[in-house]
Amino acid sequence: MPPFAYKFVLNVIPLVVAVILHEMSHGAMAYVLGDNTAKRAGRFKLHTHFDLYGSFLIPLGLYLIHSPFLIGYAKPVPVDPRNFKHPLPDMALVAIAGPLCNLLLAAITAIVLKDAAAANVNHMFIKIGMNFIVINLALFFFNLIPIPPLDGSRILAAIMPIRFVSKFYALESWGFFIIIGIEAICRQISNMTGANVGIFDSLIKEPLLITLNFLMS
């Protein structure tokens, strides 16, 4: 296999699979709770979640410029909270289904890899599996950040006073800018104090490494 194709399979494909299954789990939970919007839209099939930019071009572009990280996304699942008996708590369950799917995928892959390593399975299979675990854990911890539009914000909205919910969701279009801004401020604090603080280090990297060590032990 050519080096480019090898690295593409190793890095981009596991990301695409992880984000698509993440989105499908949202739709599955919504269906269980009484909203069949995703099913009526035909979104319970893998290919319907593929987004040309988020699932392919963005991760490919980051890979080509040798970015230290890869990000991507799938087409979000349509959900109509009006179909739920308890909109805010049920939306929280729909939201948590995505990250929990990623955590479950990481755990299952870790079990498979340990058996595969003992059986001396192909080295490429092991490397793809390890990347798949890391990507799923990164998605798990990143999506639990309680800032709209991430899944953690739906969980937080379910427990906050109802009068604050609409104002909280109004931040959704600014959410990623808020995350980037907080991270930039944290980096400056780290540079001035020598302390290792930041959203990505504290909320993603460190818990990811702890969980990875636990799964592979």
Q: What angle do CA 132, 136, 138 make, to 5 degrees?
A: 120
Please state, in angstroms and rounded to a whole number, the distance separating the CA atoms of residues 137 and 149.
Answer: 19
Closest CA to 94 of 152, 20, 170: 152
Indicate the burial class of 127 (C-beta count within 10 angstroms; 0-12, 13-18, 19 or more): middle
- Identity at 172, one-letter amino acid code: E
Burial of 35 (0-12, 13-18, 19+ CB in 10 A): buried
- Are 70 and 62 in contact, with CB atoms under 8 Å apart? yes
Catalytic residue among 23, 172, 183, 206: 23
23 catalytic residue (yes or no) = yes
Kindly list the catalytic residues: 23
